[in-house]
Amino acid sequence: MSFGAKLRTLREARGLPKAGIDEVFSLMRGTWSNWENDYNTPEEELLPEIANYFGLRVKDLIGDAA
């Protein structure tokens, strides 16, 4: 599973729209969507915050995508 697909799965499990998840992390509109579509990835410094939000460790978040 790609990193973007993993992010999509996690977001959908929380029932959040893409715009909603952008707001959770104070991202510019469409940033999360770009990550989900594997156009780019979050900055390394943001990974702990994302992992924590979903109750994961960073290594579990990046898992197969690393």
Cα dist from 14 to 19, 39, 48, 53, whole Å: 13, 22, 18, 10
Residue 31 CB partners (closer than 8 Å, separation 6+): 22
Inform me whether the pLDDT recorded for 64 exceeds 90: no
Domain range 3-65, CATH class? mainly alpha
pLDDT tens digits for 10-42?
A: 999 999 998 889 999 999 999 999 999 999 999
pLDDT tens digits for 48-62?
A: 999 999 999 999 998
Q: Domain boundaries in the chain?
A: 3-65
pLDDT of res. 18: 85
Alpha-carbon torsion 4, 37, 54, 28, what sign?
Answer: positive
